[in-house]
């Protein structure tokens, strides 16, 4: 017994030490030391120091998810042990950027990466690990271990442990090296941009941490980075690229929201995983929609069909810098979505509020992930965006910031004047009435909020209404100009000057109510996501034959039903109305602009945009040729997913194009405009528009689709038919023996250049094709009929040119024909 006594006393002593320290839970890092007295010695052999030696009295501390300490120019994270191995979403965004970065496709707020991370301990280091949900399996299944060992997750950065805090509940690391080092995973410059701008290295002396803020559920870092680059997008003499990054680290919910399975027939942004625990004979891809977590306060009343408030509504705060005269319109745009949410059974589901003052809430910050904000950006950028951050485990949207750039309203004013000015007298001015500007802003905000709610563009919504219904005042007032606010159908350009009581600006439509109900309505009878499927499918099938409830992908660029900036269900008829209006605007453009301002700046700007509007109307008709309708459906629905546009519509479209784009549009050649905006370039501006559509018609993709039609259709408009009709129309002067004017000569040479491209090129080696993007398909150009058809057309053209050059034409026409013959000879017989 005497021998056992010392042993028992030692055991009790050790147990008391363990009891006095913090015990890690099952979910926490097992590497956390249990004897913290040893861990916090003044300095052990691993270089871990006393807390007060690292976090000195000079430290400026910000408490939150982690305590962040700033000491001079260095930043330290004090990470609680109970936050180790917690899943956090790391979002990298460009906060400020140089002009022209990415060819104009990046702007302030652009997201460059999004990844799940965990902070873990390994010996005397803290590792920042990237965790992937791309491949998953139920942890109770044997295959889960295989998924783990075959998908080892990378380490983003490793930090030495500097100290433990005074009560041994947290570890201290210096995070300065992470943000002062060129870490690709959180960088604003992708490998492609680095190659394009010949980036050499990060200039450490010109890069620094701008600031770090810690909030209860997130940490926000601003870092300024400067790279040396031989060919930067701007400030070329500096040979450098500077940008500011915002790094957000967001604690994910402890319990993921129940996901809702995605159905391609209803438009939602998504998250995807490969489930190796599936009963399928392969890794089964699971795709879930992105949506906010809306749960009814009173589930019984909700199940009985009553409107019920959500436990946690979606709230957007207005940026304090928002101009006073615009605030009400922004609030209205946000709360436009209250009605669609009522369709889903929720009242007051989305709210707009002014940001609290410092007196009302001194802790409020737009950077805090608990607050979603409509940010008003003083920038010359003409854009608005609706990005959001979502949980990759479930698709739950956690936070979003709508970004409005100050100059965006100018774009809307210009489009309003150009597209509606003929039928809408109030649009015939540079000083659009504030109420109408406000209505435009309200609907732009509603559109961007739609993105932030999980909705992508629905480009089929503008095809839902017959063209002539858009000339009916009662119809447009009730239904708007498209079935969804999520289409790019900004204005009613179809309505004519004699039409009355027309709505010209878009609005929330029936599809928005339908999609909100489909994605957000709680299904009380379903206990799991699998049990929801029959109900969700029933809701779709109930409306399957009604075009108002059709979803059309923006990426389906071969589909005339799903086009950007188009309205009405017939591009030819809509194009006729649109061009009639545009001609009226062109005749009056000078009197509406320079005659009023005594300055030609607005005239020049609007004329350039008028060319763009004209080009869009033409492009809508081009899509008919070689077009394929895409009607997303499941095998239990009748009909095909893909259907070729009828040969009659394609032929009519070619006739329309010959009349409206390839025959010189003389109404665009106005001396009163051209001679007042530039000294040169009059014929080139028009040629560029024509070139765009020549190249669009004569593309590998379009010709390939037309060749495909020969394999599945009895009646079709063949690639040979299209090429023959195009050649005949473009070179019609030969048949008439008439002279060719400068515009047609340029157009004909543009045609020869494109035919040369088709003759010599074999198309791209590979194309991107993902589940959320329907790319142009791939076929082997060299073994297809493409080169054969082009060669045949060029030989026919050469023969006719030989005869035409000797007819009674003027000298420049003869020279032009001889030059065209020489160009064709070089293509057909290059060595001769």
**H helix and E strand count, the chain:** 26, 23
Provide the pLDDT confidence category of residue 831 given band limits of 50, 70 and 90: confident
Whole-structure pTM value: 0.86
* Length in residues, the chain: 832
Instruction: Please report which residue ranges of 421-463 form alpha helices under DSSP H.
Output: 434-452
Tokens of 632: 């997303």
Lowest mean pLDDT among 111-125, 366-380, 558-572: 366-380
Angle between helices 742-760 and 719-730 (to 10 degrees): 150
**φ and ψ of 536, to 5 deg:** -60, -40
Can you give the pLDDT at residue 108?
67
Tokens of 617: 């109307």
* CA distance linking residue 754 with residue 584, whole number of Å: 33
Average pLDDT over residues 632-657: 96
Whether the CB-CB separation of 416 and 479 falls below 8 Å is answered with: no
Tokens of 820: 């065209």
* CA distance linking residue 785 with residue 696, whole number of Å: 18
Lowest mean pLDDT among 92-96, 636-640, 641-645: 92-96
- Sequence-distant (6+) residues with CB within 8 A of 671 are none
pLDDT tens digits, 104-132: 667 666 788 888 999 999 999 999 999 87
Closest CA to 556 of 643, 668, 435: 643
Q: What percent of the chain has pLDDT over 70?
A: 88
Can you give the pLDDT at residue 63?
95
Q: What percent of the chain has pLDDT over 90?
A: 70
- Sequence-distant (6+) residues with CB within 8 A of 285 are 272, 273, 274, 275, 771
Can you give the pLDDT at residue 283?
53
Closest CA to 555 of 155, 264, 145: 264
The residue extents of the domains of the chain are: 4-251
pLDDT exceeds 90 at position 527: yes
Tokens of 757: 């491209």
Can you give the pLDDT at residue 409?
80
Provide the pLDDT confidence category of residue 822 given band limits of 50, 70 and 90: very high
Average pLDDT over residues 699-724: 95
Tokens of 636: 């239990």
pLDDT exceeds 70 at position 406: no
pLDDT exceeds 50 at position 674: yes
pLDDT exceeds 60 at position 139: no
- Residue, of 404 and 463, whose pLDDT is higher: 463
pLDDT tens digits, 454-496: 999 999 999 999 999 999 999 999 999 999 999 999 999 999 9
pLDDT exceeds 80 at position 148: no
Mean pLDDT for all residues in the chain: 88
Can you give the pLDDT at residue 530?
93
- Go through 438-465 and write b for each residue having 16 or more CB atoms within 10 A of its CB, e for each that does not: bbbbbbbbbbbbbbbbbbbbbbbbbbbb
Average pLDDT over residues 97-110: 74
User: What is the CA 475 to chain-centroid distance, rounded?
Assistant: 31
User: What is the CA 741 to chain-centroid distance, rounded?
Assistant: 43
Whether the CB-CB separation of 400 and 386 falls below 8 Å is answered with: yes
Using alpha carbons only, give the angle 701, 704, 705 rounded to the nearest 5 degrees: 90
Taking the CA of residue 200 as centre, how many other CA atoms within 13 Å lie in the half-sphere pointing to its CB? 9
pLDDT exceeds 90 at position 288: yes
**φ and ψ of 599, to 5 deg:** -155, 145
* CA-to-CA separations, 156 to 128, 179, 180, 316, 434, in angstroms, rounded: 5, 12, 14, 33, 51
- Residue, of 805 and 625, whose pLDDT is higher: 625
* CA distance linking residue 519 with residue 454, whole number of Å: 9
Cα(first)–Cα(last) distance of the chain, in Å? Answer: 112
Can you give the pLDDT at residue 99?
80
Provide the pLDDT confidence category of residue 3 given band limits of 50, 70 and 90: very low
Lowest mean pLDDT among 313-317, 335-339, 804-808: 804-808
- Residue, of 592 and 40, whose pLDDT is higher: 592
Tokens of 244: 């500011």
Rg of the chain on CA atoms, in Å: 32
Average pLDDT over residues 633-659: 96
Can you give the pLDDT at residue 146?
54
Whether the CB-CB separation of 84 and 28 falls below 8 Å is answered with: yes
Instruction: Please report which residue ranges of 91-184 form alpha helices under DSSP H.
Output: 143-149, 176-179
Can you give the pLDDT at residue 322?
85
Taking the CA of residue 357 as centre, how many other CA atoms within 13 Å lie in the half-sphere pointing to its CB? 2
pLDDT tens digits, 176-220: 999 999 999 999 888 889 998 899 999 989 999 999 999 999 999
pLDDT exceeds 70 at position 438: yes
- Sequence-distant (6+) residues with CB within 8 A of 628 are 558, 559, 642, 643, 644, 645, 705
pLDDT exceeds 70 at position 279: no
Torsion of CA 218, 84, 54, 68, to 10 degrees: 0
Q: Cβ–Cβ contacts within 10 Å for residue 500, how many? A: 10
pLDDT exceeds 90 at position 369: no
Can you give the pLDDT at residue 557?
86
* CA distance linking residue 47 with residue 66, whole number of Å: 23
* CA distance linking residue 611 with residue 588, whole number of Å: 15
Q: Is 7 exposed, middle or buried (0-12, 13-18, 19+ CB in 10 A)?
A: exposed
Closest CA to 751 of 830, 811, 643, 662: 662
- Residue, of 375 and 33, whose pLDDT is higher: 375
pLDDT exceeds 60 at position 15: no
Can you give the pLDDT at residue 460?
97
Whether the CB-CB separation of 387 and 579 falls below 8 Å is answered with: no
């Amino acid at each position: 017994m005497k021998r056992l006594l010392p042993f028992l006393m030692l055991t009790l002593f050790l147990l008391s030490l363990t009891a006095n320290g913090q015990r890690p839970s099952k979910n926490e890092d097992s590497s956390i030391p249990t004897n913290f007295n040893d861990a916090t010695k003044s300095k052990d052999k691993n270089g871990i120091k006393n807390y007060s030696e690292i976090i000195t009295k000079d430290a400026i501390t910000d408490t939150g998810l982690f305590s962040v300490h700033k000491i001079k120019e260095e930043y330290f994270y004090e990470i609680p042990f109970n936050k180790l191995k917690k899943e956090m979403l790391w979002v990298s965004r460009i906060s400020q950027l140089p002009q022209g970065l990415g060819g104009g496709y990046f702007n302030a707020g652009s997201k460059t990466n999004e990844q799940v991370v965990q902070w873990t301990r390994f010996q005397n280091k803290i590792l920042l690990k990237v965790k992937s949900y791309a491949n998953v399996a139920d942890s109770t299944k044997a295959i889960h271990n295989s998924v783990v060992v075959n998908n080892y997750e990378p380490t983003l950065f490793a930090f030495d442990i500097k100290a433990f805090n005074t009560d041994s509940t947290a570890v201290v690391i210096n995070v300065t090296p992470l943000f002062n080092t060129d870490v690709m995973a959180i960088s604003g410059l992708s490998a492609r941009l680095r190659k394009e701008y010949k980036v050499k290295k990060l200039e450490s002396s010109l890069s620094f941490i701008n600031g770090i803020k810690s909030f209860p559920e997130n940490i926000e870092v601003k870092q300024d980075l400067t790279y040396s680059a031989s060919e930067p997008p701007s400030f070329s003499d500096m040979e450098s690229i500077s940008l500011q990054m915002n790094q957000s680290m967001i604690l994910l919910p402890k319990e993921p929201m129940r996901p809702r399975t995605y159905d391609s027939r209803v438009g939602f942004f998504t998250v995807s995983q490969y489930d190796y625990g599936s009963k399928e004979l392969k890794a089964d891809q699971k795709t879930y929609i992105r949506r906010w977590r809306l749960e009814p306060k009173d589930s019984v009343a909700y199940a009985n069909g009553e409107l019920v408030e959500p436990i946690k509504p979606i709230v957007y705060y207005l940026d304090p810098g928002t101009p006073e005269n615009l605030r009400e319109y922004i609030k209205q745009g946000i709360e436009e979505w209250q009605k669609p949410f009522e369709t889903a059974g929720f009242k007051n589901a989305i709210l707009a509020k002014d940001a609290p003052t410092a007196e009302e809430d001194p802790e409020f910050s737009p950077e805090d992930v608990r607050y979603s904000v409509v940010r008003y950006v003083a920038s010359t950028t003409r854009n608005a965006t609706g990005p959001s951050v979502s949980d990759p485990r479930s698709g739950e949207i956690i936070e979003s910031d709508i970004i409005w750039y100050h100059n965006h309203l100018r774009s809307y004013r210009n489009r309003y004047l150009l597209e509606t000015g003929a039928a809408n007298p109030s649009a015939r001015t540079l000083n659009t009435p504030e109420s109408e500007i406000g209505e435009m802003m309200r609907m732009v905000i509603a559109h961007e909020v739609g993105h932030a709610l999980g909705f992508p563009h629905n480009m089929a919504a503008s095809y839902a209404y017959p063209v002539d219904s858009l000339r009916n005042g009662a119809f447009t007032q009730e239904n708007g100009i498209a079935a969804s606010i999520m289409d790019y159908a900004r204005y009613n350009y179809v309505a004519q000057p004699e039409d009355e009581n027309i709505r010209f600006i878009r609005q929330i439509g029936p599809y928005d109510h339908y999609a909100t109900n489909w994605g957000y309505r709680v299904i009380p009878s379903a206990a799991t996501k699998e049990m929801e499927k029959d109900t969700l499918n029933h809701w779709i099938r109930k409306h399957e034959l009604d075009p108002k409830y059709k979803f059309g992908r923006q990426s389906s660029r071969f589909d005339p039903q799903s086009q950007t900036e188009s309205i009405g269900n017939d591009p030819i008829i809509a194009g006729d109305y649109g061009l009639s209006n545009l001609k009226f605007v062109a005749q009056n453009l000078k009197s509406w602009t320079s005659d009023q301002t005594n300055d030609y700046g607005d005239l020049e700007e609007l004329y350039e945009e008028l060319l763009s509007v004209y080009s869009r109307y033409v492009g809508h008709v081009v899509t008919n040729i070689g077009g394929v309708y895409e009607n997303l459906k499941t095998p239990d629905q009748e009909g095909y997913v893909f259907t070729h546009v009828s040969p009659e519509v394609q032929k009519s479209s070619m006739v329309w194009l010959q009349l409206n784009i390839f025959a010189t549009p003389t109404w665009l050649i106005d001396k009163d405009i051209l001679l007042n905006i530039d000294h040169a370039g009059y014929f080139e501006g028009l040629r560029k528009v024509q070139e765009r559509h020549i190249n669009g018609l004569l593309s590998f993709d379009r010709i390939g689709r037309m060749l495909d039609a020969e394999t599945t259709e009895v009646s079709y408009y063949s690639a040979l038919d299209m090429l023959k009709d195009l050649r005949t129309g473009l070179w019609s002067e030969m048949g008439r023996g008439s002279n060719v004017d400068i515009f047609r000569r340029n157009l004909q040479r543009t045609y020869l250049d494109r035919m040369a491209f088709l003759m010599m090129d074999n198309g791209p080696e590979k194309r991107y094709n993902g589940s959320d993007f329907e790319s142009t398909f791939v076929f082997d150009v060299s073994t297809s009929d493409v080169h054969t058809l082009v060669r045949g057309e060029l030989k026919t053209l050469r023969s006719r040119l030989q005869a035409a050059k000797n007819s009674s034409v003027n000298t420049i026409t003869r020279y032009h024909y001889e030059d065209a013959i020489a160009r064709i000879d070089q293509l057909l017989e290059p060595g001769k």
